[in-house]
Amino acid sequence: MKKLLFIAIISIITPCKLYAVDISVGGAVWYAWYKASGGENVDPALLYGPALSVKFNDDYNLTFVYYYGEFEYNYGRTSTRHDSDIALNYRLNNYFKAFAGIKYRKIAVNSNENAEPPPLVPIYSIKTDSIGPGLGVSATFPLIRNMYIISTGSGLFLVRRSEYDLGFDVDKRYHHNYGYNLTLGIAYYIEPASTIINLGGRYQCFIDRKDTSVKDRYYGITLTATYSFEI
């Protein structure tokens, strides 16, 4: 009896690894063009941020990516953008995964009162916060040794809160946006370094639910590098 009790105590206080978790961590950049509904001239910008993946087992993994960048508008205006996605992925078979997650966007447009030439519209700033669920499918197909083609497609539904600072008053509005996100890339696994390099493209579109002619589109070249390890 004492021997069984001793074994039970040792099993509790002695750390034991029940299963392994694969983690990939790195960075992502997105050289993006922005096409606003109003047709304003917007210079392309470089967005960047961390990328993370946690693989719990052969069927489930959690992914996270965050981008930050700044766009230049007409009349010296600037727009800072925060864009993040977190998703739980489920493996359907050797090639396809389904995923569900949450998207969050934050955009702040700041005016330049000293811009030359002066703007044709009143000076104001805009702040928006958007959040909502997304559903999608991803596919991975092998090309040659350690090289794969990866694509994703997802649909989004976001609740957006906007604040328009007109200089004498603040106008708050709430909107609902539909959206979709498409990516296509080629990934290469550098086996000695346990690193994956993914080069491709991304297209993202957000459409106002009440007025479908109001669309914000982002598209450009993406590059992601992640290092993988096991704990």
**Predicted confidence (pLDDT) per residue in 186-201, tens digit:** 999 999 999 999 999 9
Break the chain into its structural domains and give their ranges: 19-230
Average pLDDT score over residue span 125-136: 93
- Which of 42-51, 52-61, 70-79, 164-173 shows the lowest mean pLDDT across its residues? 164-173
**Coil, strand or helix: which one is 61?**
strand
> And the tokens for 39?
């047709």
Cα distance between residue 203 and residue 181, in whole Å: 6
- CATH number at 19-230: 2.40.128.90
Per-residue pLDDT at 13 exceeds 70: no
Q: Give the contacts of 3 (CB within 8 A, at least 6 positions apart).
A: none
